[in-house]
Amino acid sequence: MPAVVSPEARRARWGVIALFWLNGVAWASILPRYPEIKQALGLSDTFWGVSVGIGPIGGLVAGLFTARLMRRFNSAVVAVASLVLYIAMLNVIGNAPVAAVFAVGVFLMAAFDALTDISMNAHGLRVQKLYGRSILNSFHGWWSIGAVCGGFLGSAAAQWHVPIWLQCLVATVVFATMALASKALLLRTPDHTELDDVAVEASRTAPRRIPSPILIRLVALGLLGASAGLIEDTGATWGAVYMDRAFVVTPFLAGMAFVALQGAQMVGRFTGDALVNRLGSRPALMQGGAIAALGMAAAVAFPSPAATLIGFACAGWGVATAIPSAMHAADELPGMRTGSGLTIVTWMMRLGFFTGPPLIGLLADATALRWALLVVPACALVMLLLTPALKPLHSKPHGNV
């Protein structure tokens, strides 16, 4: 562990924090308006789920090119440029006159989000390497802070009847300006600078065919992350819709289902680094998965506004360390080219965001939205079964990020 962290590394840490916060706040700011948008577009649960579920396809496509873009342009450049375009897509979603335009906006926003997500995590891993200890969970904690802030902003705007188009326009101007300003804080050196000569050569000459043990581990980590992503997305896509439909609540309180999930996830991520450093990533995730499964199952069994908020909070706490741990484990797999393991697993994670909305929508139309939410504890159990994938396969050359 380095005795002293350089000023450049400390400055870059704040730059990465800004990227994560902006990525969370921009996306979350529109979610409390989903009940209004769904009603205005006149969509059933199934078609609403499909319209939202189309978005992650954009992420799946864009994610295929992220590692190549980072190797060519640097993770800092890719992160900031894609973040600005991601924020701008709020205006397409907020001004959508028909479902097709809404779906295109969600698709493009998810595509730019994939580029931002992978590149800002790659940059965060570079900074973590300079610190010599786990700080990745705290970056995701700042994403959760952004999501909570966005949830409050969107809920307040809904309560005060602020036009959606105006909310999106103001958010774009403010958040995009902040994203451009964050570029000055990030590391200026190429992404491979922290690697030693042996690791750089190994990264450049790594075989294109992935060995079977590595491939199996990548698939398991990707499915683990996808399960966590589906749980997280449930609060975003269905939280406000369920609260609005199942109970007599104000628009502000309806948006609190998402805020409860993200607020608990935020706490879990800020305490997650200490938990992972002390216990390891697998035990940390096992206790979280159990809490998510039990909490959300109880909320479905005994429905009330309070129980629902507590259930979503348990779900958020439960997946707090899942995605950062899966990303870190993938990035540490031996024999992979720089950024490839992280890109593959992050790409697979988006399967959860893709399958979750339409799956729950179909189940909701077939039964009821309340029972469809049992998908959440089911995914938590899948996470528990996949936690062995977090154990190190074997040693990787130091610094091969």
The tens digit of pLDDT for each residue in 302-351 reads 999 999 999 999 999 999 989 889 988 888 888 766 667 877 888 788 77
Digit-coded pLDDT (tens) for 126-152: 998 898 887 887 898 899 899 889 989
Digit-coded pLDDT (tens) for 5-53: 899 999 999 999 999 999 999 999 998 999 899 999 999 898 998 888 8
pLDDT at 72 over 60: yes
Q: What is the mean pLDDT of the chain?
A: 87
pLDDT at 201 over 80: no
Predicted confidence at residue 246, as pLDDT, reads 93
Question: Rounded to two decimals, what is the model's pTM?
Answer: 0.75
Distance CA(378)–CA(293), nearest Å, equals 7
pLDDT at 180 over 90: yes
Please give the CATH topology (third level) of the domain spanning 7-390.
Growth Hormone; Chain: A; (1.20.1250)
Distance CA(125)–CA(134), nearest Å, equals 9
Predicted confidence at residue 192, as pLDDT, reads 65
Is residue 370 a contact partner of residue 246, using CB atoms and an 8 Å limit? yes
pLDDT at 297 over 60: yes
Distance CA(351)–CA(342), nearest Å, equals 15
Predicted confidence at residue 397, as pLDDT, reads 41
Predicted confidence at residue 376, as pLDDT, reads 96
- Determine what percent of the chain is predicted with pLDDT higher than 90: 57
pLDDT at 294 over 50: yes
213 or 86, greater pLDDT: 86
Predicted confidence at residue 197, as pLDDT, reads 40
Predicted confidence at residue 349, as pLDDT, reads 82
- Determine what percent of the chain is predicted with pLDDT higher than 70: 92
Predicted confidence at residue 223, as pLDDT, reads 93
Distance CA(393)–CA(332), nearest Å, equals 9
Q: Categorize the per-residue pLDDT at 193 as very low, low, confident or very high, splitting at 50, 70 and 90.
A: low
Residue 177: name the closest of 77, 80, 90 by CA: 80
Please compute the mean of the pLDDT values over residues 114-122 and round it to a whole number. 92
Is residue 387 a contact partner of residue 319, using CB atoms and an 8 Å limit? no
Please compute the mean of the pLDDT values over residues 262-288 and round it to a whole number. 88
Residue type, 337: R
**Tokens, residue 44:** 């059933």
* Residue indicated by tokens 């992935």: 210
- Give helix 212-237 / helix 239-246 axis angle, nearest 10°: 40
Predicted confidence at residue 208, as pLDDT, reads 59
Distance CA(322)–CA(311), nearest Å, equals 18
386 or 140, greater pLDDT: 386
SS3 for the chain, per residue? CCCCCCHHHHHHHHHHHHHHHHHHHHHHHHHHHHHHHHHHHCCCHHHHHHHHHCHHHHHHHHHCCHHHHHHHHCHHHHHHHHHHHHHHCHHHHHCCCCHHHHHHHHHHHHHHHHHHHHHHHHHHHHHHHHHCCCCHHHHHHHHHHHHHHHHHHHHHHHHCCCCHHHHHHHHHHHHHHHHHHHHHHCCCCCCCCCCCHHHHHHHHHCCCCCCHHHHHHHHHHHHHHHHHHHHHHHHHHCHHHHHHHHCCCCHHHHCHHHHHHHHHHHHHHHHHHHHHHHHCHHHHHHHHHHHHHHHHHHHHHCCCHHHHHHHHHHHHHHCCCHHHHHHHHHHCCCCCCCCHHHHHHHHHHHHHHHHHHHHHHHHHHHCCHHHHCCHHHHHHHHHHHHHHHHCCCCCCCCCCC
* Residue indicated by tokens 């938590």: 380
